[in-house]
Amino acid sequence: MRVLLPALLVACLVASASAQVIGPEVGLTGVVVPTPGPLGCGPATHILMCTQVFLAGDVGLLDALVGKNVKLFGHEELLPGATCTLVKVESVADPPPATLDWCGSAVPGCELRFVICPGGLSQYWLWVSPGNGYHPLAPAKGSWLLGDPAFLVATGIGGASCLSLDVQVPVDPGVLGLTLYLQAARRDIGPIGPAELTNSICLTILPSEMPCVPPGC
């Protein structure tokens, strides 16, 4: 035992140092896509579109979700020495409780339309930021996926259908090439329910020479 005990202790210490630490339970909504190219985060195989939130878990399940806007539940995994955000997915809500979509042309002078779903008597909020981020709230509420600073650009009451907000892109050379990140939240108000965060979306302002395509969503 005097010979084996030190070796066992060393093995345990090495295993503990390299093991992933299970973080808090989280919920987050977004479109699942494969991890792009060499960009990686430990065992991650997928990532949420318009974020830097990496996903791991059952590869077959995540592959089946590619291109879908869903709400994921799981736990953060804290990798030793890593600076990336990794969530191990354990369950999925499809469709998610709240979504954000857009259509139109991200061109100066053209119109964009933002659509917050589902419908029903509800209260909504829409924010915009020049960057993405990650701040998990209670799993039922979801995760804040915008960076700092973030600006509230619209709020109000929605009716029976999904809410549509039309915005004209400013005719300003300063916005060309700018990438914007947006996220919304909604809650039922008949009766009042919890506020739930949507997925985030991102769009880049294109050159003025590009044609305007009328919003069709």
* Domain spans in the chain, listed from the N-terminal domain onward: 14-93, 99-204
pLDDT higher than 70, residue 31: yes
CA gap 207, 134 in Å, rounded: 30
CA gap 185, 208 in Å, rounded: 31
CA gyration radius, the chain: 21
Question: Which CATH number is correct for 99-204, 1.10.3720.10, 3.40.1000.10, 2.40.100.10, 2.60.40.10?
Answer: 2.60.40.10
Q: Quote the pLDDT of residue 159.
A: 85
Q: Quote the pLDDT of residue 77.
A: 93
pLDDT tens for 116-144 read 999 999 999 999 999 999 999 999 999 99
CATH class of 14-93: mainly beta
146 — phi, psi (to 5°)?
-105, 155
Mean predicted lDDT score pLDDT of the chain: 90
